[in-house]
Amino acid sequence: MNTFSRTLSIGAIVGAVALTGGLAAASQAAADPTPAPSPRTQPTGMVKALADSLGVSVAEAELKLDRQNGQQETLRRLGMSGVPTGSAYFDAKGTLTVDVTTARQAADVKAAGLAARIPARAPSALDRIKTELDRLAEKKLPAGVESWHVDPVGNRVVVTVRNTSDTTSRAFVATARTHGSAVTVETTRDDAPQATAAVAPGSKMNTNTSDVNGPYCSVGFGARDQQGKQYLATAGHCIKGLDTLYFNGSAFAKGTRTRFAHGYDSVDMGVAAISSGNSVTTAVGGWGVVSNTPVRGSQRAAVGSTVCKSGATTGWTCGTISSYNHSVTYTDPGQPQTLVKGLAKSSVCIHKGDSGGAWITNQGQAQGVTFGSSNTSCNGSFGSGASWMQPLDDLLRYYGLTLNTAS
């Protein structure tokens, strides 16, 4: 049986592998003699990969990351002082903007060097609209509506529609429009999102079979409960039957809890108990593109931040987080349509088999695990559609787990 270095790191679930905080990462670490970068050293390989993804020079990518990192740290300190930071986002010029409710808070934000905005619509008001739409979809799924979410940049709720040929979808859109300018309805030609677990050769984490050529997902993050028991945080759809998980033909974990079920209102998060003698490393595999990246924490990145993912199918790809708290409708072939809530949307390229894998920032902050995508093809690192992940911080809170981090 293969063994894995003992370290704690947990992740959220969703489609393509991002962080090598899992067994797939462990195999890469064994094959890659390059030592993990120092916590104080910005991994140059990651900067190069990001530059290629964004179509900019390495110097420009490094400058972008350095500026984002500094502003994120300022935002963290503001949050500790009581300033609301949940609706922060990077604007088109790369400045972190914080939505606040009072002039005093705005002054504090500006004094710290960030931009402040008192929006026309309070974030809580938009959250209430989003919740209303969730409840409507829970009663009867609007199959022609791809997703809906709060857009902090536009200060609105955005509903994305594939088609309104069915009565339920038309009624859903009509209800959304009753909120006037607070809701924007957009149309898309993207394929319906699909969870990315699939049968494929070369599996990194086989689901319910020891056959390495069988169905597979990608490994996410390791975490522990209050008693120290070790778990793998993964996509709920990867262990929907509380499956046994295999690495290189040997069982290493068993699904224990999942919030995903076809045909029901779901959240794509789940956990698997790691078998004795096995573990999930706290360094995300770079697939030969970057050095393995140590997991340092799980601070959520602001909208507009750059993020990279490591996956068994598409390897290491990068992109931008566009929004959080997405509700998505999708269908797996042969399965009933399903509503999945609480996802984050991005431009990162993922494909089937990337499900459950890890997402991480250049600072080593674990962000989530892959759910799926509407990508019909990938151009380099970018997908032609959209991709979604399950945020890690939500998963850890729900299951009462602590992320394993590098020492």
* Pairwise CA distance, residues 66 & 75, whole Å: 14
Exposure b/e, 135-164, CB count within 10 A at least 16 = b: ebbeeebbbbbbbbbbbbbebbbbbbbbeb
268 is catalytic: yes
149 is catalytic: no
DSSP element (H, E) containing 384: strand 382-391
326 is catalytic: no
Q: Write down the catalytic residue from 99, 108, 243, 268.
A: 268
Which phi and psi angles does 346 have, rounded to 5°?
-150, 180
Q: Write down the catalytic residue from 322, 346, 355, 373.
A: 355
Q: Write down the catalytic residue from 27, 87, 108, 237.
A: 237
* Pairwise CA distance, residues 163 & 159, whole Å: 12
DSSP element (H, E) containing 202: none
Q: For residue 101, count CB atoms less than 10 angstroms from its CB and return exposed for 0-12, middle for 13-18, buried for 19 or more.
A: middle
Secondary structure of 106-130 in HEC code, one letter for each residue: HHHHHHCCCEEECCCCCHHHHHHHH
Residue with the two structure tokens 């601070």: 299
* Pairwise CA distance, residues 118 & 39, whole Å: 37
Amino acid at 396: L
Known catalytic residues? 237, 268, 355
